[in-house]
Structure 1
């Protein structure tokens, strides 16, 4: 799979988000990407407030989601993010036909901003086949919980796709925790973040694609743009054959 992550300055208007999404999708497709992923709450902006989100909430085949699906249909599969019904902080993956491949609601809410705007999801992502890999989704704060990545790895995930809106001073999430989650589970992780301020937070960039050995395949600094790398099942197989934490975990000791 050739994966493209969009690292960009925060988007606070749906029209601006859709324009940026189409421009990035066109660029990612020209670069041969099989999938493009955006940061968290991309279609509406993250810190816009509950009152602004209420009229934009829609089922994943309606509203802003339907416009994102049309962009996917025109260019390439897209994993993007926005508000789902019931105050969900959601991610939806649209395939090359603009059809919904999977959707997910953020399970772990971060701080007062999340608590004021969203309700937590009540289940982990499904594990699904896409572009030659077994994939699963998480959103931002989710990846900071070791249990989530370990559980999805045990369910067969080889790649975690993680839209995020991570801010200063928490750069260690991208530089330490994401590589650790990858290495300790023998799976690749893609982590797409904003960069720059939005009036509430100052986002730290550092979007990355990390291999199953925890090594960077591609990483941004604080500049906007696409982050692109290739991931294969052979990478996961090779790493797990060398050191497979999943099969050697002494689960009987942890109850």
Structure 2
């Protein structure tokens, strides 16, 4: 199976302006498709912006809302799958979510962030209750997490045990936590033997200053692609041959002994 070409959009868009951000998404999808990418990953809450304050409930949409239709049209027009971070409304609850739309415009999966970060997120959102959400694209098993989720070893290990090969992580990582993309992500990819595509916001936004440094971390511990701190469309490939060789050489999943530490991992 050939490598899966992907594009990571590092951008904060225009907070509070959904129409503008949808235009940016369409432009990025066109550039990604022209470069041969089959998948475009956006940052956390890209649709609306992260620091939108009291406007968040008004900007949030249902999973099948009007923006979902625009995203489906963009994906189908350019023939590229789209992982979009957005605030999802479900009844009275709001979720920090990511939707995955296929290159034909069909909805493949949706995930709600399970580990909320800081006072803003815990006040604004309800945590999701599904640890592992997956979909298939061009023979590759994709998994979905959002930002802080990937910083918990249990979440990534759950994906590894479920067979995820490429983990998509829309992100809003602030400074000064650059240790996450620089150190933690390569370690997560190595210890769990999968690829991790991490698409971050960038620059100042309200009280936050986003770190950029979007990347693809590979199962052999390398980082084949890394963005800087500014706006960027980053291209990379998730290579199944790298994954196969690395899993054969580094059999962490096979050599686990969960009977020794399984109960300990569940303690509060």
Determine whether 1:237 maps to 2:241.
no
Query: Deviation per CA, 1:124-181, whole angstroms, max 9, x where unpaired?
Result: 1323221221110000000000000001100111110000000100000111111111
| 1:198 positional shift | 0.6
RMSD, matched Cα: 1.2
Aligned residues of 1:10 and 1:197 also touching (Cα < 8 A): no
TM-score where L is the length of structure 1: 0.96
Query: Deviation per CA, 1:183-236, whole angstroms, max 9, x where unpaired?
Result: 001100000001100121110100001111120110001121111111122221
TM-score where L is the length of structure 2: 0.92
2:177 aligned to 170, 183, 186, which one?
Answer: 170
Q: Which residue of 2 aligns with 1:5?
A: 8
Distance 1:73 1:128 in 2: 17
Distance 2:159 2:81 in 1: 22
Deviates more, 1:70-79 or 1:56-65: 56-65
Query: Deviation per CA, 1:53-92, whole angstroms, max 9, x where unpaired?
Result: 2233322222222212211111121110111122011100
2:98 aligned to 74, 81, 91, which one?
Answer: 91
Aligned residues of 1:10 and 1:45 also touching (Cα < 8 A): yes
Q: Report the number of matched residues.
A: 254
| 1:10 positional shift | 4.5
1:1-255 paired onto structure 2 within 5 Å: 1-12=4-15, 13-49=17-53, 51-75=54-78, 76-85=80-89, 86-254=93-261, 255=263
| Structure 1 runs, 4 residues or longer, greater than 4 Å off | none
Runs (5+) with no aligned partner, structure 2: 264-268
